[in-house]
Structure 1
Amino acid sequence: MNKEKLNIKQPNSQAEPFKNIKTGSVKGQSNDLDKVQNSNLSCDREGIQTFDPQNSEGATTEASPKVGYKKTKLGWIPAEWEVKELKEIGNVISGLTYSPDDVRPNGVLVLRSSNIQDSKLSFHDNVYVDPKKLNFNSLKNNDILICVRNGSRSLIGKSTLIPNDLVGEAFGAFMTVFRSESNIYLNQLFNSDFFYREVHKNIGATINSINGGNLKKFKFPIPPPSEQKKIAAILTTWDSAIALQQDLITAKQKFKKALTQQLLTGKKRFPGFEGEWEEVKLNDLGTIYTGGTPSSSIKKYWNGEITWYTPSEIRKAGKYISVSERKITALGLRKSSAKLFPKHTIVVCTRATIGEVSISTIEASTNQGFKNICVNKDNNVEFVYYLLKTSKQEFLRKSSGSTFLELSTTDFRNMKFKVPTIYEQQKIATTLSAADQELTLLQNQLIQLQDQKRGLMQRLLTGEVRVKI
């Protein structure tokens, strides 16, 4: 049998974000950040081997037997594996039906869909009931809690493993528990594309749900218990690496938030900078541009060469933006209240998603849901960007309107800020930009880890990759 060692390179989850910023310099943020940054975890890939059955010894054509594998309705699987329905390896257990009158300030916790976030338990939205008045199926250690009914189809099938400290708690009627001796392994399977494909094949046509009867009939290739244990251990190690990366990102975000607040208010100053900051109106920091929308009924106003932003695009953009879904013509610009502004103008949503901010890297225009500022030469564009980005609550406080909230041009122009000299602005902007870049690096590494785990799951859960027992 031809076996080849699997070599998957894992990105180093212990990058050096914020390496130019001393973590202890921001009050209250150093301990959590250092704790995560000093953690050490590596993904153990020893004992994993790949085996391509099509290229194995003795395999000649698609119709011929593949050494060590067998043909099933689900495709080729290792000879030791079996295709099983879930009902053959565990039980489906229904949740508790309760009414608003049953809810109490405390009592037995009823886990619902909102308590599962990214395959983890979340306790930001809890419901409790009186256990003496209701009969329910209580949770056991290593139960798998599954969302089987929800207003959003995309949430059907999300699941999590129940830890020992939730034993005895309840779960709602829109949830189901799967209980099996194989749940450590099945927890990985239930978070795979294989499981979600089965879920979406079985969602009701009119109601977003899967019933217990259908769930029991889901079929999967199941390895022997010893191989289940090894596969689960390998994938759990990757889960730990991903969780560590997420914790590191969270710690860095908290640190950066505290640092931003201190730098932009002058509570923390860099060496060499002294003196009081000057209070100015936003209008003093640059030229204000408003937006507008050409008539949608006149075709020659549209599909031109001028980029035209809308609030929904700013929400998705991040710090910089250069692409819009729609563009207008020069005639459309002239025949509307939209204004063409220079590149590096800061676009600010002042209607709908008030306070969303981005820097346009190109010459562009916006609809009427914006007030935009082209920062003058006496100030730093990125400093003003950070100043406005942290002013969302002030934007909202000054907004008004009966149909929808909007910040007026006058109020926008007259907003007051304290600013330092351009040299100190540049120093602050450089520091915060570096923090942003390193957060982006961490987030990209997280995506890479998640993609690698997803690819490994694809191979381990089908038997394409075998593990040493």
Structure 2
Amino acid sequence: MSEALEELKAENPSAYPPSIQAGIPKLGDTPKGWTRYRLGNLLHKVERPAKLVGTQTYQLVTAKRNRGGIVAREVLRGNQIKTKTQFYVEAGDFLISNRQISHGACGVVPASLHRAVVSNEYTAFQTAAALDPEFLNALSHSIYFQQTCFHSSIGVHVEKLVFRLEDWMGWEFDIPPLEEQRRIVALLRAWDETIEQTERLIAAKRRRKMALFQKLFSNLPKRPLLEAADVWFSGVDKKSRADETPILLCNYMDVFHNSRITSQIDFMRATASKSQIADNSLRKHDVVFTKDSETSEEIAEPAVVDEDIPNLVCGYHLAIARPWDGVGHGPFIAQAMRHQAIRWQFSRLANGVVRFGLTLEAIEQAELFLPSLPVQERIAAVLDAEDLMIEGLLKQAKILRVQQRGLMQKVLTGERQLDERFDDFAPSILASAVRHA
């Protein structure tokens, strides 16, 4: 969607995608106890040619961008593999995609992919005795490592860079002793495991909510949406004029990325005429939803206004559903609009070619689950509680990732060093990280 691209550009004004680190690689002083090596003295290329047999099956792998690791692709017979020059990789190899290494496509081959095959667009390495492969995998997340990959590539388009392996082998790296490498790997692995546990819990909570949706909305009567709420479209745009009143503008992305509209959102500052403010000011329990988008699946994405926020005005591309007193409950309406059957309905009602949108005539045809008001309030309370738990876990996972990135850059550059004292306290430190992260 265009709004998402605009937001991405605002957050990342660089001409390069977030997977690229284009800065100049610079090393400072070598940390105490560490050793500076040329990369070519730490890695040696390995080639294990695979003579493909037409009737035999082979596991193919790929390196994910953004240092996402080495993962399985499809299993094909030899006569189905188009590129006939293939090589075996083994568990523990450090594998890079020559075409995508500037985007962080690299990682250690896991045991599950031992003896998989890759084309000559990949390069496999084994490490010298001074370098633990798992530490190298962690090192690939450092800004310096990423910068060396980019500056060892040439080309006029970021997606068509040619990687020059020999140039990359000439870069120097500061490497800690093996004992410290293993401590660093253990510490970062604890964060990985905590993040993974949190993500598994988020997935479980989402499955629970889906089950609750099926249970709570089963056998509920459907009525026209307009019997539950008054609905109108906003016409307030982002333009600011000196003769108008300052406002906070609730825009498309505020709704698309948040299930609840609260004062914690960083709203855009804009202006509007007095009549626009009177017609489009938001109040508690209003439901704001997307009325148009580049895909019909993103139509009618709802968010409920969770509190009264002074000077908050609904922006363009959005609709407002204000519940009728004694009939509709805003939090319930927002939850009901997330039900798959209701979402399919709005997708069918939207029309367009380049951009899909709802009309007021389509809104007149829209239906919503509409039990009695007390039932709406009880259902909303249950589902909102689930959402709050999921939101809390999402925030926790985000904090963990930020902590991990900050810690990673410090330990991989030697700004923070882990000596033998870490070995005595490691169990309690790692357990604490898991409990309190």
* TM-score, with length taken from structure 2: 0.73
Residues 414-423 or 125-134, more deviating: 125-134
Residue 170 of structure 1, aligned match among 100, 108, 117: 117
Pairing 1:329–2:272 present: yes
Equivalent pairs: percent with the same residue? 20
Once the 2 structures are TM-superposed, how far is the Cα of residue 165 of structure 1 from its aligned partner?
1.9
Instruction: Please give the per-residue CA displacement for 1:239-296, whole angstroms capped at 9, x wherever unaligned.
Output: 2222222222222222222222322335xxxxxxxxxx44311001111111225696
* Residue of structure 1 aligned with 2:300, choices 355, 364, 368: 355
Structure 2 residue aligned with 1:389: 338
**Partner residue of 1:374?**
322
Q: Which amino acid aligns with 2:292?
A: R
1:423 paired to 2:374: yes
Amino acid at match of 1:137: F
SS of equivalent to 1:377: coil
Give the C-alpha shift of residue 417 in structure 1.
2.3
* Deviation (angstroms), 1:426: 1.3
The match for 1:138 is 88
The one-letter code matched in structure 2 to 1:466 is L
Give the match for residue 316 of structure 1: 257
CA distance in 2, matches of 1:422, 1:236: 49
2:413 aligns to what SS in structure 1?
coil
The answer to whether the 8 Å contact 1:281/1:416 transfers is yes
1:400-419, aligned counterparts within 5 Å? 400-419=351-370
The answer to whether residue 108 in structure 2 is matched with residue 161 in structure 1 is: yes
Aligned partners of 1:312, 1:212: CA distance in 2, in Å? Answer: 42
Give the RMSD, CA atoms, in angstroms. Answer: 3.6
For the Cα contact (< 8 Å) 2:224–2:366, is it kept in 1?
Answer: yes
Q: Deviations over 1:284-310 (max 9, x none)?
A: 1111111225696x94577x4234444
Matched, 1:185 2:135: yes
Letter in 1 for 2:390: L
Q: What residue ranges of structure 2 are gaps of 5+ in the alignment?
A: 1-25, 424-437
Per-residue deviation at 1:456?
3.2
* Contact 1:85-1:219 within 8 A present in 2 as well: yes
Q: Is the 8 A contact 2:61 2:71 kept in 1?
A: no
| Structure 2 residue identity aligned to 1:398 | L
Query: Is the CA contact (8 Å cut-off) linking 2:238 and 2:315 kept in structure 1?
Result: no
How many residues are matched?
A: 370
Q: 1:172 to 1:400 in 2, by over 3 A?
A: farther
Cα distance in 2 between the residues matched to 1:200 and 1:403? 36
Report what 2:156 is aligned to: 206
Structure 1 stretch 406-415 or stretch 306-315: which is displaced more? 306-315
1:366–1:449 Cα change, 3 Å: closer
| 1:288 partner SS | strand
2:225 corresponding residue in structure 1: 282
User: Where does residue 343 of structure 1 map in the other structure?
Assistant: 283
Partner of residue 427, structure 2: none
Equivalence for 1:20 = none
> 1:47-196, aligned counterparts within 5 Å?
74-79=28-33, 81-92=34-45, 107-113=57-63, 115=64, 119-120=68-69, 126=74, 128=76, 130=78, 134-150=84-100, 156-171=103-118, 175-180=122-127, 182-196=132-146
CA distance 1:231–1:342, change in 2 (3 Å): closer
Q: Distance in 1 between matches of 2:199 and 2:280?
A: 41
Of Structure 1 and Structure 2, the greater helix share is in 2
Contact (CA 8 Å) 2:337, 2:368: kept in 1 or not? no
Deviation per CA, 1:153-182: give whole Å up to 9, x if none. 9x7024332212212223456654443252
Please list the CA deviations of residues 23-73 of structure 1 after superposition, one character each: whole Å capped at 9, or x if unmatched: xxxxxxxxxxxxxxxxxxxxxxxxxxxxxxxxxxxxxxxxxxxxxxxxx95
What SS is found at the alignment partner of 2:157?
A: coil
Shift of 1:374: 0.7
- Asked whether the equivalents of residues 112 and 172 of structure 1 are also in contact (C-alpha less than 8 Å), the reply is no
Q: Secondary structure at the match of 1:137?
A: strand
Counterpart residue number, 2:190: 237
Once residues 87 and 416 of structure 1 are traced to their aligned partners in structure 2, the CA distance between those partners, rounded to angstroms, is 66
Deviation at 1:183, TM superposition (A): 1.0
CA contact (8 A) 2:69 2:105 kept: no
Closer/same/farther in 2, CA of residues 400 and 73 from structure 1, 3 Å limit? closer
Closer, same or farther in 2 for the Cα pair 1:342/1:77, shift >3 Å? Answer: closer
**Structure 2 CA distance for aligned equivalents of residues 284 and 412 of structure 1:** 11
For 1:230, the aligned partner's letter is R
Q: Relative contact order: is structure 1 or structure 2 higher (C-alpha 8 Å, sep ≥ 6)?
A: 1
Are the equivalent residues in 2 in contact too, given 1:148–1:176 (CA < 8 A)?
yes
Distance, in Å, in 1 between the alignment partners of 2:238 and 2:193 is 54
Query: SS of 1:74's equivalent?
Result: coil
Quick check: 2:67–2:104 contact (8 Å CA) kept in 1?
no
**Change in CA separation of 1:318 and 1:419 when aligned onto 2, cut-off 3 Å:** closer
Structure 1 position 111, deviation (Å): 3.1
CA distance in 2, matches of 1:288, 1:235: 50
The residue that corresponds to 2:16 in the other structure is none
Q: Give, as a single letter, the amino acid of the residue that structure 2 aligns with 1:214.
A: D
Q: Secondary structure at the match of 1:358?
A: strand
Provide closer, same or farther for how the CA distance between residues 402 and 226 of structure 1 changes in structure 2, counting only shifts above 3 A. closer
CA offsets, 1:337-396, max 9 Å, x none? Answer: x941431321111211413222244441221x3332011222221111111123322211
Q: Does the 8 Å CA contact 2:89/2:114 hold for their aligned counterparts?
A: yes
Counterpart AA for 2:418: R
Q: What is the TM-score of this pair, normalised by structure 1?
A: 0.68
1:21 paired residue number: none
